[in-house]
């Protein structure tokens, strides 16, 4: 495709089409959870990490706040995927969220993280299962007739 053939979309992305159970709630929920965690880490990192029994050295405070901002940016991908129905992003998120439990479990076994972090991994895993079920139930979009 040459530059002269490329055209910007004439319409904004189409929101998710209704399905028997509604919108991809697992993706919306996960985006909201990540946004909340990112905001907590950016604004009140010591309180947030206290819940996970992870003390915070004063020198690490700026880095944890920065990680919270990165988490907010990452959450935006989930919000956009939920709004536009990006199945590829949703499938990729399942793999990432399953691996989260594996990695956090390894970190706990190595004593790199307190056991409370397993709750984060288990929540991630549960969300991955939920998204997998939604992807199986959600009908794939039909090819547009104009492409034929």
Say whether pLDDT at 145 is over 90: no
Q: What is the pLDDT of residue 123?
A: 92
Question: Alpha-carbon distance 123 to 113, whole Å?
Answer: 16
For residue 128, being part of any structural domain is answered with: yes
Question: Alpha-carbon distance 102 to 118, whole Å?
Answer: 10
For residue 111, being part of any structural domain is answered with: yes
Q: Which residue has the tokens 């309180």?
A: 47
For residue 89, being part of any structural domain is answered with: yes
For residue 20, being part of any structural domain is answered with: no
- What pTM value is reported for the model? 0.71
In 1-148, which residue ranges form alpha helices assigned H by DSSP? 25-43, 45-51, 61-84, 87-109, 117-137
Mean pLDDT of the chain: 84
For residue 51, being part of any structural domain is answered with: yes
In the chain, how many domains are there? 1
For residue 7, being part of any structural domain is answered with: no
Q: What is the pLDDT of residue 1?
A: 54
Q: Report, as an integer, the average pLDDT of 47-53.
A: 90
Question: Alpha-carbon distance 16 to 147, whole Å?
Answer: 20
Look at residues 132, 34, 121, 126 and name the one whose alpha carbon lies nearest to residue 79.
34
For residue 29, being part of any structural domain is answered with: yes
Q: Residue 58 sits in which domain range? A: 25-138
- 6-28 pLDDT, tens digit per residue, is 666 666 555 555 444 457 788 88
Q: What is the pLDDT of residue 108?
A: 96
Q: What is the pLDDT of residue 140?
A: 61
For residue 143, being part of any structural domain is answered with: no
Q: Are 13 and 84 in contact (CB under 8 A)?
A: yes
Q: Which residue has the tokens 């002269």?
A: 4
Say whether pLDDT at 117 is over 70: yes
Question: Alpha-carbon distance 125 to 94, whole Å?
Answer: 8
Q: Are 73 and 41 in contact (CB under 8 A)?
A: no
- For 23, 51, 83, the CA distances from 28, given in Å and listed in that order, are 8, 24, 8
């Amino acid at each position: 495709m040459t530059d002269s053939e490329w055209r910007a979309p004439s319409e904004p992305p189409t929101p998710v089409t209704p399905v028997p159970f509604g919108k991809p709630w697992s993706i919306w929920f996960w985006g909201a959870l990540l946004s909340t965690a990112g905001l907590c880490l950016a604004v009140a990192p010591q309180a947030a990490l206290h819940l996970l029994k992870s003390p915070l050295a004063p020198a690490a405070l700026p880095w944890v706040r920065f990680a919270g901002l990165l988490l907010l940016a990452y959450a935006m991908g989930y919000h956009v995927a939920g709004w536009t129905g990006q199945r590829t992003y949703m499938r990729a998120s399942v793999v990432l969220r399953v691996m989260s439990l594996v990695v956090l479990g390894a970190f706990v076994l190595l004593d790199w993280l307190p056991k409370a972090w397993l709750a984060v991994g288990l929540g991630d895993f549960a969300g991955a299962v939920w998204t997998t079920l939604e992807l199986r139930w959600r009908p794939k979009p039909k090819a547009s007739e104009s492409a034929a």
